[in-house]
Amino acid sequence: MTGRLVACVVLLLATAAAQMRTDSTEVARHVKVRIAFGDHAPCNSTTRVTLTGEMGFALAEGSLSGECTAEFYDVPPGKYRVSLSGPDTANADDGDVEVNSVISQDVEVRARHSQDGQTGSWTKSAAFVSVSDLAVPAEAAKEFDKANRLIGKQDWGKASERLMKGLAMYPKYAAGYNNLGAVYSHQGKNAQAREALKKAIALDDRMAPAYVNLARLNFLEKDFSGAEALLDKALTLAPAANADELSLLAFAQLTDKHLDEAIATSQEGHGMRLKEHGFLHLAAANAFEQQGKIGDSLAELQMYVQEEPNGPQMKRVKDAISKLQQQLAKRDSGSAAAAQP
């Protein structure tokens, strides 16, 4: 197999300015999301629950408990969309909820079982690497190839079994540990995923995908500073970045308040004309807004609309454009009034 196998949806950041300030006292300290299946079926612990803000940025992601609940802490007030992803689970309603500034809040979202559910938090590239090491013994290589085919079918349980069997035969194969780490993450086994990825790096400290995958784990744990460092390392090793990796880096820089760096990363991706780079405009818009540069933020959102006319966040982006235009008009009106004698 050649190239990188496809993983899944890009993990984004918190919605614009309000969601960035999680140290504020204006937060819901504890939000419990309860998932209700129409057929009263039991929950699958590998199902992921994502809390997404008005501009389409994911604030947090978690797994379902045995009681069909996911818990989030220190959530800024506002409107959110709760979405589900898993091997056989999807939303049965739009998942729109509103969070208030309270100590504790319970919300309920309807769910259904499907055969085409999406996987969780891994981006479209870099999660998996193909078998390419000629030093791998033939029997071990067969197991790794079988694992890759199972990964393509999103059969994570059997894929992990094949990977572990191959690694038992050839424990020096860094790519195998990288793939095992990615598979574990899809299963919600983040501790095992981190251990496997660290093993991959210990065997090959120039394996850029393993650093990217570790960065994704840091995103899930809200260690954005650690994610930024890991992504910087990965891009040093493999400077031919793709839009997903630059998006992850830009959003990590945003949460670290490295606003100029986030803007520079966005502009770099745009200048490289990378495929599916539209989300980078959203990162730059967020950074400019935090700097008080409303005009620049508005320009980035308008470029997103122009370049991604069918983008998944279009409605929210247009709403944000309208709000920024109102802010500019109000500011200009105030400046004109102040200038009059």
More confident residue, 194 or 82: 194
Q: How confident is the model at residue 8 (pLDDT cuts 50, 70, 90)?
A: very low
Question: In the predicted model, is pLDDT for residue 110 greater than 70?
Answer: yes
Amino acid found at 28: A
Over residues 193-212, the mean pLDDT reads 93
Q: What is the mean pLDDT of the chain?
A: 76
Q: How confident is the model at residue 13 (pLDDT cuts 50, 70, 90)?
A: very low
Give pLDDT, residue 160. 93
Give pLDDT, residue 248. 83
Any idea which of 39-53, 112-126, 219-233, 290-304 has the lowest mean pLDDT? 112-126
Give pLDDT, residue 181. 93
Q: How confident is the model at residue 14 (pLDDT cuts 50, 70, 90)?
A: very low
More confident residue, 32 or 130: 32
Token pair of 80, please?
């959110």
Q: How confident is the model at residue 270 (pLDDT cuts 50, 70, 90)?
A: confident
Q: What percent of the chain has pLDDT over 90?
A: 23
Closest C-alpha to 263, from 235, 282, 276: 282
Sort residue 128 into left (φ over 0), alpha (ψ -120 to 50) or beta: beta
Q: pLDDT digit string (tens) for 214-268?
A: 998 888 787 889 999 999 998 888 766 677 788 888 888 888 889 999 999 988 8
Angle at 141 between CA 135 and CA 147, to 5 degrees: 140
Give pLDDT, residue 20. 31
| DSSP of 36-82 | EETT-PPPPTT-EEEEE-TTS-EEEEEE--TTSEEEEEEEPSEEEEE
Residue 286 CB partners (closer than 8 Å, separation 6+): 13, 16, 17, 20, 55, 57, 254, 262, 297
DSSP state letter for 227: H
Q: How confident is the model at residue 171 (pLDDT cuts 50, 70, 90)?
A: very high
Give pLDDT, residue 6. 20
Over residues 292-318, the mean pLDDT reads 85
> CA torsion angle for 246, 258, 251, 234 (degrees, to 10)?
40
pTM: 0.62
Q: Which domains does the chain have, with CATH numbers?
A: 17-113 (2.60.40.10), 138-206 (1.25.40.10), 229-329 (1.25.40.10)
Give pLDDT, residue 27. 62
